[in-house]
Amino acid sequence: MKFVYFVILTFYSLCLHAQTAQLRQQIDALFDKNTQKPQVLLLGTFHFAGEKVDANTTPTTLRVDMLTPTRQQQIDQLLNQLARFKPTKIAIEASPSSKNYIDSLYTAYCKGEFSGNQRVEADGELLQVGFKLAKRLGHTELFPIDAQAFRLKFSPADSLIMFTKYQQQSDPSFDYWDNHYTRYSSLQDSLKYYSTLQDYLTFLNSAKTQARSIGRWLVTTKRGTNREPIGADGFISRYYNRNLRIYSNIQRLVTSSMDRILVIYGNTHMYILKHLLEASPEFTVVPVTNYLK
């Protein structure tokens, strides 16, 4: 009798397993990975122009000159690697409102009539990577996708109205982690200076480095109280909101399922952008490390 019961139970378990496996397959089929989707390659960068963009952040002895022959050779190698992705569109960290202006500068660059100005530095990543790669690939334009966080007139029910009440709120971890990240930035400056461009970009685009990029802000989300969580709401309304807006600008670039979009952006944005794009059913994210080797 026990044997019969065991056989019945085993048969039932096998049937149940087969049914659940079929259901899982049906669920996966709703988001079929074989469906052609626009592909996105996210290249997190540092500001090539350094102090011209981020004033007083890097010691003079560690500032990288991207116009030296050695660095130019490394940039050329990077362009060769990115060209293998065959992007159909190149998205850049610039305001969409500057599209016509950037188009005019890019047109001048392609004609050999532009080398750089205050808004598009000759040694900046926009010209050194964006313009150069677009010209090499025969693109007629680049696509600015930057955004700023929204600004609202908050009601008394919103915790952000309480910002001034909690901005001086102290916590031992604030100073500890602030010093920690200051040291981290200093070590990054040294690593950037002594590394090749490819090696440093590989470091920047690693999952660990990109996760650390938002850690400094996550420390402060505890500011406030359970009833007035100013730290959490500030993170959402400023940092997360801005990146969500950038993501939505990428969405609006798509004109074909065959699109291959290269996004060249400051690396501190990449953790959330990657998270959003990987969660989206509309895109396939291509690992950038495949193109930094």
Q: What is the pLDDT along the chain (293 residues), one digit of tens a residue?
A: 666 666 666 766 778 778 888 878 888 787 776 678 999 999 999 999 875 656 556 788 888 999 999 999 999 999 999 999 999 999 999 999 999 999 999 999 999 988 777 678 888 999 999 999 999 999 999 999 999 887 655 555 555 555 666 667 777 888 898 899 999 999 999 999 999 999 999 999 999 999 999 988 898 888 888 888 888 887 887 789 999 999 999 999 999 999 999 999 999 999 999 999 999 999 999 999 999 98
pLDDT of residue 35: 78
pLDDT of residue 157: 53
Residue ranges of alpha helices (H) inside 197-266 are: 197-204, 207-212, 215-218, 230-234, 241-251
pLDDT of residue 117: 77
Q: How far apart are the first and last CA of the chain?
A: 64
User: Which residues make beta-bridge pairs with 41?
Assistant: 262, 286
Q: What does pTM read for this prediction?
A: 0.87
Contact 127, 49 (CB under 8 A): no
Query: 3-class SS at 44?
Result: strand
pLDDT of residue 231: 80
pLDDT of residue 25: 83
Q: Which helix (H) or strand (E) holds 89?
A: strand 89-92
pLDDT of residue 238: 78
Sequence-distant (≥ 6) Cβ neighbours of residue 251 within 8 angstroms: 280, 282
Compute the half-sphere exposure of residue 91: CA atoms within 13 Å on the CB side of its CA: 27
pLDDT of residue 235: 81
Q: What is the residue whose two structure tokens read 């011209």?
A: 52
195 φ/ψ sector (left φ>0, alpha ψ -120 to 50, else beta): beta
pLDDT of residue 193: 94
pLDDT of residue 51: 57
Residue type, 77: Q
Distance CA(93)–CA(145), nearest Å, equals: 6
